[in-house]
A and B are shown apart, each in its own frame.
Chain A
Amino acid sequence: MQRSADRGKTWRRSSQIGLPEESGMTLEAVWHIEPGRPDEPETLFLGAAPGVLFRSDDGGESWEVNRGILEHPTRERWFPGAGGMCCHSIQLDPRDERRMYVALTAAGVFRSDDRGETWAPVNRNVVADFLGDPHPQVGQCPHKLLLHPLRDRLWQQNHYGVYLSDDHGDSWLRLDGNGLPSGFGFPIMLDPTDPEQAFVIPEKSPEYHHSSGGQLAVYRTRDSGETWELMADGLPKQAWAAVLREASASDTESLYFGTQSGSLFALTEGEVWVEAVRHLPPILSVEVTEWPT
């Protein structure tokens, strides 16, 4: 974990992050860093493998593991996906300072209503077709979880399908049968001004991680997943591209995503995608922020 206070000019590494000895586990990989709430500017959350969550209250200098996740009573039923047992999504409810969500592969989505002390699995109706019981309490494989900033609506791109929940994750509605070429994919993007909209980038299948039908394509719903429409103007045809789970972002201006083949796309006026950068190494993560000049 490295941090910069001068917009990336210099970096300083944090004190060592690790898991307590009695856990019998060691930290494998860091997956996601999520800023704390606006009134806690020194707070950060960090999701990591093997299925662990950390919190820092000093701007990332030191980190404390979340015991509720580390010692979760269902942990023995969690298992790693191809990238490890990663905690990749951390969402803080802006309307309730006690509530937050995490998503882990392959354990599922978990909600805390007490500032992260305890966690309830919230995976009802989310399938896990790779398990003997396709509707277990835990063991699902969310790929990315986002909470809409304006409304209590969760969106999830899962290993098997795209889902939304309007009841804090207590139940989920599957949406990919409504016109997506595939339910498989990794990133999901939201329009921060419209909770009805979401954007996904389907991949062919769990076995084939590349764009479906040889066309790099974003699909948008404007009606909460009732229908999906293709948004491929400006995107390459004859493309077998893949977009990693952290490699997309959105703000009120645009949408942004990067491919494993090193192209960064942004949506411009007239809903045309523009390849902003190309020939990069595989793009692992995309974030968007204001950058004063």
Chain B
Amino acid sequence: MAHVVVPSILAAQAEGRQRFDVRAETVGEALHALPVADLLFNERGELNRHLNVYVDGIDARDRGGLRCPLTAVREVRVVAMVSGG
């Protein structure tokens, strides 16, 4: 079971829920299981720009990206990048 946290702007699209416990083996599976998955990924299943994902505080890109296994992971956190500034 993975614990996923999304930023408030995405929580607003999930009836206010910011935290989700989802059954998944990888970061990608966990994010795809969220009710806001369509806002996280484009039509090719690639993570949208302006989003960062941290796995126990480490940038997911440094842990294999969406394929990062969730074994022994406590938290996956989606962060909306401060872009445009």
Q: Across the interface, do B13 and A18 meet the contact criterion of CB distance under 8 Å?
A: no
B21 within 8 A of A: no
Q: How far is the CA of A21 from the CA of B45 in the complex (A)?
A: 11
Q: CB of B42 within 8 A of chain A?
A: yes
Q: Is A173 an interface residue (CB 8 A)?
A: no
Contact digits for A1-45, partner B, Cβ 8 Å, 1 yes 0 no: 000000000000101111101000011000000000000000000
Shortest CB-to-CB span from A99 to chain B, Å, is 30
Q: B25 contacts the other chain (Cβ, under 8 Å)?
A: no
Contact of A26 among B13, B38, B39, B43 (CB under 8 A): B43
User: What CA separation (Å) do A13 and B38 show in the bound complex?
Assistant: 10
Are A16 and B38 in contact, CB atoms less than 8 angstroms apart? yes
- Asked if residues A19 and B38 are in contact (CB atoms below 8 Å), the reply is no
Among A16, A19, A21, A27, max chain B CB count under 10 A is at A16
Interface residues in B, total, Cβ within 8 A: 7
> Among the listed B13, B38, B44, B46, which residue makes an inter-chain contact with A15, where contact means beta carbons less than 8 Å apart?
B38
Instruction: Please name 19 pairs of A and B residues whose Cβ atoms are closer than 8 Å in the assembled complex, sorted by A.
Output: A13-B13, A13-B38, A13-B39, A15-B38, A16-B38, A16-B43, A17-B43, A18-B42, A18-B43, A18-B44, A19-B43, A21-B43, A21-B44, A26-B42, A26-B43, A26-B44, A26-B46, A27-B42, A27-B43
Nearest chain B CB to A16's CB is how many angstroms away? 4
CA distance A17 to B13 in the complex (A): 16
Bound together, the chains give a CA A18 to CA B38 distance in angstroms of 10
Complex: A152 Cα to B28 Cα, angstroms = 52
Q: Mark B16-59, 1 if CB is under 8 A from A, else 0.
A: 00000000000000000000001100111010000000000000
A191 and B19 alpha carbons, distance in the complex (Å): 52
Starting from the known contacts A15-B38, A18-B44, A19-B43, 10 additional A-B residue pairs (CB-CB under 8 Å) come to A13-B13, A13-B38, A18-B42, A18-B43, A21-B43, A21-B44, A26-B42, A26-B43, A26-B44, A27-B43
